Structure 1
Amino acid sequence: MKRIFTLLICITVALQGYSQTQPAPQTYNFSIQEAIDYALTHKDSVINSGLDVKNADYYVKELIGQGFPQIDGTASFQDYLKIPTTLLPGEFFGAPAGTFIPVKFGVKYQSNLGVNVSQLLFDPSYIIGLQGRKTYKELYNRGYTSTKIDVTTKVTKAYYQVLVSNEQIKLLDANIAQLKQQVDQTTAQNKQGFVEKIDVDRIAVQYNNLVTSRENTLRLLALNYQLLKFQIGMPIENSLTLKDGLNDVKLDENIVETVADTASYKNRIEYKIFETSLKLSEFDLKRMKAQFLPTLKANVAYTASYQNNSFKDLYSTSFPSSYVGLTLNVPIFSGGQRTNQVRQSEITVLKNKNNLLGMRNGLNLQAAQAKIIYMNSLQSLNNQKRNQELAREVLRVSKIKYQQGVGSSIEVTQAQTALESADNTYVQSLYDALVSRVDLDRAYGRIQ
C-alpha cells in the first residue's frame, strides 16, 4: 500500500509539473487586418517560405565563395611494417647478367604535411552564375510574396465565413423569437377554442425545426472559428473573437469601375514568378554555352616531408618542396554532350516563353471572370435582400389575415417557410458576394 501511495503522489506531482509547463490558453480580439498580420508571422507555410528565402541567400553566398581562394591542408603518416623491396640488375653490382639484387629503398616511418591553394582566374560559367544570383534570389522572394498573398486570401475568406455564420444566427434568433410568440398565441387560442389543435402542431413543427437549425448553425460557427484559427496559425485551444462586422466590408459596384482590364496580369505575383523563371532559364542557357570556353586556375602548394627509421626522431628533419603553377582546361570533345545540353536549355527557354504567354492570357481571363462573378453576386445579393423583405411582408399579412379569421394557418406556415428559405438564400448570397470580392481583389493584383 505504501508503494502504491508513493506512486500516486509521484504521478500527481508529475502531472502538476506538466500542466504548469504548458502555456495557458490566450484570448484574442482581431480585426481582419490583425488576423492577417498574425497569420503572416505564425502560419507555417509563410514561415517555411521565409526560410526558403534565407536558404537562397546561403546558396548565393556559396556560389560567390567559389571565386575565393580554395585552401586545403593535408597530413599523412605511414608506418612501413615491411619496407618495399626493389629488384636491381645484378650487373650493376658485378654479379652475372640476368641476375637481380633485392634492395630496400626508404625508411620505416614517413610523414607529409602540406598546404594547397587554388585560385579561379577565369571561368565563364562562374561569371554567368554571378550575373544570375539576383534573379535567383528574386525568384524566392516572389515565392514568399505569393505565399503571403495566398494566406491573406484564405484568412479573409475564413473571417468572412464567421461573420456570415453570425449573421445567420441573428436571423434565426429573430425568426425563433417571433415564431415562439406565435406558438404561444396559437396555443392560447386553442385552449379558448378559437383554433384547432392541428394549427398548433403546424407551428410547433416549424418552431422545433428552426431551433434545431440554430443548434446546427452554432456548431458550424464553432467549426468556422477553428478553421479561422487554423488559417492564421493559432492554437485551437486559444479563444478568438472578431472586431469587424459585415458593415465594415464595402460591397458596391464602384469597386469594379476602379479596376482596369488592360495589363492587369502585370500586377499578379504569379506572372512575375513566371517572368523570373524565364530569366533563370536564359541564364542557364548562357551557362551551358560557356562550357565550350576554357577555364584557368592558379595553383600553389607547399609540402614538408619527414622520414626516419626512429619514430621519436621522425619530425626532427624535414625535406620541403613547393611549386607555383597554372592549370588551363580547354574543352575539345565531349561526345556531343555539351551541344545536346545547350539544345535542351534552348527548349526550356522556349517552353518558359510559351508558359509566360499562356499565363498572361489565363490571368486576363481570370480577371474578367472575377469581375463578372462579382457583379452577378452583387445583383443576386440585392435581389435576395428584396426577397427577404417581401417574405417578411407576406408573413406579416398572412398572420393578420389568420388572426382576423379570413386566412388559414396553412398560409401562415407557408409564409414562414418562405421567409426561412429567403433568409438562407440571402446568407448564401452574402457569403458568395464577400468571397467574390476577395477573388476580384486577387485577380487584379490588389492583394500584396
Structure 2
Amino acid sequence: MTPPSMAPNLFLNCSGQACARKTNMSKAVGVFATVALATTFLAAQGLPPAHPNQVPPLQLPLPALTQTDAAGGVPAGTLSSTPLRLSLADAITRGLRQNLAPLLASNMSEQARAQRIAQMAALLPRVDASASEVRQKINLAAFGFSFPGAPQIIGPFNVFQASAAAHVPLLDLSALDSTRAASSLEKAAHDDYQSVRNLVVLAVANQYLLSVADQSRVQAAQAELATAQSALQQAQDMLAAGVVDKLSVVRAQVQRDQQQQQLTAQQNALAKQRLSLARAIGLPLAQKFVLTSTTPFATLPAPAPAAAVAEALATRPDYRASQQVVRSAQLLVASAKAGRLPTVSLDGSYGTIGHELDSNHPIFAVGASINLPVFAGGQIAAERIRAQAQLRDAEARTADLQAAIGVQVRSALLDLESQHQQVAVAQHAQQLAHQELTLAQDRFRAGVADNLEVIQAQQTVAVGDENYIAALYGYNLAKASLAQALGVAATQFQNYLPTH
C-alpha cells in the first residue's frame, strides 16, 4: 500500500473503510480550521472591555484670589437716564452679586465639585457599549495556521457584533481616600467662597466710604470757596471805603483762587472714586447715581481682644477652609499609602456575534480580578512623598493663618480705638477752627487787624475739615475691618456700619 504522503490522489481512489477514514479526517481538519479562524477573529476583534475610569490627579489647594479681583466687577443692568439712588446696603448687595471676586470664587467651587465627581468615578461602575459590522478576508498562514488540503485564504465574509461590557470596582481603598480628600477640598472651596464674600463687603464698603468722604471734601471745599469769595468781597468793599489797602484785596484774591483750585481737584477725585465704586459693584460706568447713605459718627463698643480672637477662629470661613485643606491632605497621604494594597473588581461582557444580523448568537464573559502592585517603578513612593509634602504645606499655612487672624483682629481693635480718639480730637479742632475764623472776620471787619488773620483762619478751617473727614472715614473703615476680621461682614455689616 502506498503511503499517504506518496499518494496525492488517495481520496479519489479510496473505497470502503479507507475512504470513510479519510473523509472524517477532512471534516476534522475543516472543523479545526474553523475553530482556529473563529478564535483568531475573536482575538483580533473581540468584545471591547470596560476599562476603569481614568481619574486626573487632585489639585490641592485651589488657586487663590488676589486683591485686584475684588476691585473688579461684571457690569449688569440697563443704563437709565434717571440717577440711581444708591445706599450702602444696596451697594454691598450688588457687590456680592456682581463683584468679580465672588464670581471667580463660585467658579472655583464648581471646579472643586468637578474634582470630587471625577474622583468618585473611580468607585462607580463603568459600562461601555459598541456595535460593528466588518467584511474581511483572513490569511491563516499569517496567524500560524497551515493545514494540508485546507485553503489558507478565508473569505471575504461578514461579521456583525454588538456588545456591552462592564467594570465594577469592588474594593479600592486608595480611590476611596482620594474621593474623601476631594470632598474635603470641595468643602474648603465653599468656605473660601464665604470668606470672599466677607472680603467683598469690606472692599465695597471701603469704596462707598471713600466716595462719601470725597463728597464731604467737595462740600467742604465749596463752603470754603464761598467763605473766600465773601472775604474777597468784604476786602474790596473796605478798599473802596479806604479802610484797607490793596494788599488785603490781593491776599483775598489769592485765597479765593486757591480754594477754587482745591474745589476742582476734589471734584475730580470724587468723579474718579465714583467710577471705582461703580466698577466694584458691577454698575454701568455711564450710569449716574446718588449716594443716599451718610456715615455719622456712631460709637461701636470694642470687644475684649482674647474673646474677639476666639470668636474669629470659630467663625472665620477661611480658617475652616484651611482646616479642610489639611484634612484633604491627610486623606491624600492615606490614599498614597493604600496604593500598595490590592484592588478587587468584577468584569463582564454580553453581546451577540454572527455572520449576518439575523444569524447572530449570544456570547458572554464574566470574571473577578485582583490587582496587586508588585513593582511600579517608584510611582507609589513618589505619590506618597508628594502627598506628605502637601500635608506639611497645608499644616504650615493653617498655623500661619491662625496667627494672622490674631494679628488682624488685634490690629482692627487698635485701629478702632485710635480712630475713635482721632475723631473726637478732630471734631473738637474743627469747631475751634470755625470759631477762630469767625473771630478773625470780626476783627477784620472792625478794622482791628488786616485780613491776614482771616486767610490763616480759612486755611485752619480747611485743615480741620480735612482732618475730621479723614478721621471719620478711618473710624468707619476700622469698624468694617473688624467685622471682616471676625468673619461676620457679609451677615452683620449693618451692626457695624449704621447709616442714615
- TM beyond 0.5: yes
- What is the deviation of 1:138? 0.9
Per the alignment, in what secondary structure is the counterpart of residue 330 of structure 2? helix
Matched residue, 1:194: 243
237-246 vs 225-234, greater mean Cα deviation: 237-246
Matched residue, 1:270: 318
Q: Work out the CA distance in 1 between the residues paired with 2:147 and 2:156.
A: 25
Percent identity (aligned): 19
Q: Work out the CA distance in 1 between the residues paired with 2:135 and 2:147.
A: 32
Q: 2:316 corresponds to which letter in structure 1?
A: R
Matched residue, 1:226: 275
Q: Work out the CA distance in 2 between the residues paired with 1:90 and 1:417.
A: 113
Matched residue, 2:97: 41
Matched residue, 2:404: 362
Q: Work out the CA distance in 2 between the residues paired with 1:334 and 1:220.
A: 65
- What is the deviation of 1:184? 1.3
- What is the deviation of 1:172? 2.0
Matched residue, 2:393: 351
Matched residue, 2:345: 297
- Aligned match of 1:238 in 277, 281, 287? 287
Q: Work out the CA distance in 2 between the residues paired with 1:319 and 1:243.
A: 80
345-354 vs 256-265, greater mean Cα deviation: 256-265
Instruction: Assess if the C-alpha contact under 8 Å between 1:296 and 1:328 holds in 2.
Output: yes
- Aligned match of 1:285 in 307, 310, 333? 333
Per the alignment, in what secondary structure is the counterpart of residue 167 of structure 2? strand
Instruction: Assess if the C-alpha contact under 8 Å between 1:40 and 1:46 holds in 2.
Output: yes
Give structure 1 stretches of 5+ with no counterpart: 1-21, 94-100, 308-313
Instruction: Assess if the C-alpha contact under 8 Å between 1:78 and 1:110 holds in 2.
Output: yes
| Compared CA separation, residues 72 and 52, structure 1 to 2 (3 A) | same
- Aligned match of 2:127 in 60, 65, 71? 71
Per the alignment, in what secondary structure is the counterpart of residue 71 of structure 1? strand
Q: 2:486 corresponds to which letter in structure 1?
A: Y
Q: 1:340-383, CA deviations, whole angstroms, 9 ceiling, x for partnerless residues?
A: 32233223212322221121112212221222122222222222
Instruction: Assess if the C-alpha contact under 8 Å between 2:309 and 2:405 holds in 1.
Output: no
- What is the deviation of 1:258? 8.8
After TM superposition, the structure 1 = structure 2 runs for residues 248-267 of structure 1, keeping only pairs within 5 Å, are 250=298, 252=299, 254-256=301-303, 260-263=307-310, 264-267=312-315
Q: Is 1:172 matched up with 2:221?
A: yes
Q: 1:20-48, CA deviations, whole angstroms, 9 ceiling, x for partnerless residues?
A: xx944264323212211122222233233
Q: 1:346 corresponds to which letter in structure 2?
A: Q
Matched residue, 2:58: none
TM-score by length of 2: 0.76
TM-score by length of 1: 0.84
Aligned residues: CA RMSD:
2.6
Q: Work out the CA distance in 2 between the residues paired with 1:361 and 1:24.
A: 46
- Aligned match of 2:170 in 121, 125, 138? 121
Q: 1:84 corresponds to which letter in structure 2?
A: N
Question: Higher Cα Rg: structure 1 or 2?
Answer: 2
- What is the deviation of 1:67? 3.3
| Compared CA separation, residues 110 and 390, structure 1 to 2 (3 A) | same
| Compared CA separation, residues 47 and 91, structure 1 to 2 (3 A) | closer
- Aligned match of 2:139 in 66, 84, 103? 84
Instruction: Assess if the C-alpha contact under 8 Å between 2:354 and 2:360 holds in 1.
Output: yes
- Aligned match of 2:375 in 319, 333, 342? 333
Q: 1:246-292, CA deviations, whole angstroms, 9 ceiling, x for partnerless residues?
A: 22x62x26235598344233432332221111111011111111111
Q: Work out the CA distance in 2 between the residues paired with 1:126 and 1:42.
A: 38
418-427 vs 222-231, greater mean Cα deviation: 418-427
Q: Work out the CA distance in 1 between the residues paired with 2:147 and 2:176.
A: 61
Instruction: Assess if the C-alpha contact under 8 Å between 1:86 and 1:102 holds in 2.
Output: no
Q: Work out the CA distance in 2 between the residues paired with 1:406 and 1:225.
A: 46
Per the alignment, in what secondary structure is the counterpart of residue 278 of structure 1? helix
- What is the deviation of 1:420? 1.6
Matched residue, 1:135: 184
Q: 2:481 corresponds to which letter in structure 1?
A: D
Q: Work out the CA distance in 2 between the residues paired with 1:423 and 1:327.
A: 82
| Compared CA separation, residues 67 and 348, structure 1 to 2 (3 A) | closer
Q: Work out the CA distance in 2 between the residues paired with 1:169 and 1:138.
A: 47
141-150 vs 62-71, greater mean Cα deviation: 62-71
Matched residue, 2:253: 204
Q: Is 1:385 matched up with 2:440?
A: no
- Aligned match of 2:196 in 147, 168, 175? 147
Per the alignment, in what secondary structure is the counterpart of residue 86 of structure 1? helix
- What is the deviation of 1:69? 2.8
Matched residue, 2:61: none
